A and B are shown apart, each in its own frame.
Chain A
Amino acid sequence: MLNIEEILKVLPQRMPFVMIDRVVEFDPGKKVVAIKNVTFNEYFFSGHFPGKPVMPGVLIIEAMAQSSIMLFYPHTNFTKDKLKNTEIGVGVYTPDPQVSKDKPAYYLTASKVRFFHPVVPGDQLKIIIDPIKLISSAGIVKASVFVGDKEVAGGELTFTKK
């Protein structure tokens, strides 16, 4: 489990744009499960919408994207000479001190996400990330977001890391 202090060591985003509160399960390069607690105090509820608070879908995608960045914790990177082709889609990750120092930027390049239910104050989002394909400079992941046992959003994200 990773608390918010550890999350902030990895994510380049800061308040008010940190969309995950805790990582409850993770296996670098293989799986991430993160939690986001949604409260009525969120800044976006004052405008989206007055009298009818609904979490914007783009911010749910942002939560998925930030959870995906955690796949690279603790600043792991491919080392090409160690790349084995024994496992489809997932290579061998090793810590890279240079990546840790540089803190790369991440850019979302494509998303195919569907929203099934509105997210409202009091909900706790459970964001589950399963990589489909990760390379040293980019990734494609499957993301599912649950509130309780109900899936509220899900799809695929593609992003690059520079």
Chain B
Amino acid sequence: MQDIDNEIRNLVAEIIEKDPSEVGGEARFIEDLGVDSMMALEILAALEKKYKIAIPEDKLAEFTTLNSIIKVAKQYIAASQTNA
């Protein structure tokens, strides 16, 4: 599962235009990294495309740190594998 963590870190870093090393697991997007709410939507869209999953829009509110995104993403990746 470590691979997925890194993949998501790289994906998020690319969208918010930061170096992956700057995106700490608990760094708060808005306060610490200067991310706006629309970038959260871009991250959600990119995750859906990469992992062929669908994340409901109310989960966007949980997109506040890299760790919380990884948690949500893994939940839906696991669900899609069970269904497959």
Contacts and interface: CB of A to CB of B under 8 A. Distances in A.
A88 to B, nearest CB: 5
Contact of A158 (B42, B56, B58, B60): B42
Interface residues of B, number: 15
Interface stretch (A41-49, A78-86, A98-106): A78-86
A140 B42 contact: yes
Closest 10 CB pairs of A and B: A133-B45, A85-B54, A135-B57, A109-B38, A158-B38, A88-B54, A140-B45, A138-B41, A132-B45, A88-B48
Given A78-B57, A110-B42, A132-B49, 18 more contacts: A83-B56, A83-B57, A85-B56, A87-B54, A88-B52, A88-B53, A88-B54, A89-B49, A110-B38, A133-B44, A133-B45, A135-B41, A135-B57, A136-B57, A140-B41, A140-B42, A140-B45, A158-B41
Interface of A: 78, 80, 83, 85-89, 91, 109-110, 132-133, 135-138, 140, 158, 160
Interface of B: 36, 38, 41-42, 44-45, 48-49, 52-54, 56-58, 60
